[in-house]
């Protein structure tokens, strides 16, 4: 073998880079448990039957995958609030059933390292 003094270290660097998630998860960061899927909601609530205003939303699995689009859809239809100008901040109706932001939003967003949306600039934190 020729130039082993350069090729072997080069290969070692390559293997280290490729296996980065393996050793990084082991040595550096604590891999937390996945967030609990089902928040404490009653069966009726899960089926969307006891929605406060009689509306319903998609089943939980669909909402998990598409809530950002759903929220954005609601958002564009109700944009009358002007941040900074209007004093009273709107609340988010999700939180009425689903409880605290920390469990309902942040737990999954942190786990999947998804940017936490900037809902809370305008909306009041429950």
Partner 1 sequence: MKYTFPLVAVIALALIAWIGSALGLQHLFGVVVPYAALLLFVGGFCWRVLYWAKSPVPFRIPTTCGQGFSMPWVKRDKFEAPVSTGEVLCRMFMEIFLFRSLWRNTKAAVKPGPELTYSATRWLWLFGILFHYSMLIILLRHLRLFVGSELFFVKALDAIDGFTLHPTPELSLYLTDALILVGLIALLARRFVIKTVNYISLANDYFPLFLLIGIALTGILMRYFLRSGVDIVAIKQLALGLTTFKPVVPADIASIFYVHLFLVSCLLAYFPFSKLMHMGGVFLSPTRNLANDSRMRRHINPWNPDIRPHSYASYEDEFRADMIEQGIPVEKELPQG
The residue ranges that bind partner 1 (CB under 8 A) are: 1-4, 7, 10-11, 14-15, 18-22, 24-26, 28-32, 34-35, 37, 61-62, 64-66, 68-69, 71-72, 75, 108, 110-115, 117-118
Cα–Cα distance, 106 to 93 (Å, whole number):
17
CB of 54 to partner 1, least distance (A): 25
Measured from the CB atom, is 36 or 49 closer to partner 1?
36
58: left (phi over 0), alpha (psi -120 to 50) or beta: beta
Measured from the CB atom, is 50 or 99 closer to partner 1?
99
Cα–Cα distance, 108 to 114 (Å, whole number):
8
CB of 9 to partner 1, least distance (A): 12
Measured from the CB atom, is 30 or 53 closer to partner 1?
30
Are 98 and 51 spatial neighbours (Cβ–Cβ below 8 Å)? no
22: left (phi over 0), alpha (psi -120 to 50) or beta: alpha
| Residue 19 CB contacts under 8 Å (≥ 6 apart), including other chains | none
Measured from the CB atom, is 11 or 49 closer to partner 1?
11
CB of 55 to partner 1, least distance (A): 21
CB of 53 to partner 1, least distance (A): 24
């Amino acid at each position: 073998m020729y130039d082993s003094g350069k090729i072997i270290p080069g290969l070692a660097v390559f293997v280290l880079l490729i296996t980065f998630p393996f050793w990084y998860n082991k040595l550096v960061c604590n891999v937390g448990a996945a967030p609990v899927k089902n928040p404490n909601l009653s069966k009726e609530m899960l089926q969307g039957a006891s929605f406060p205003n009689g509306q319903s939303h998609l089943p939980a699995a669909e909402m998990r995958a598409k809530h950002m689009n759903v929220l954005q859809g609601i958002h564009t239809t109700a944009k009358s609030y002007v941040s900074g100008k209007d004093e009273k901040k709107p609340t988010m109706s999700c939180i009425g059933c689903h409880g605290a932001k920390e469990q309902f939003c942040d737990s999954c967003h942190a786990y999947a390292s998804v940017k936490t949306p900037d809902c809370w600039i305008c909306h009041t934190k429950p």
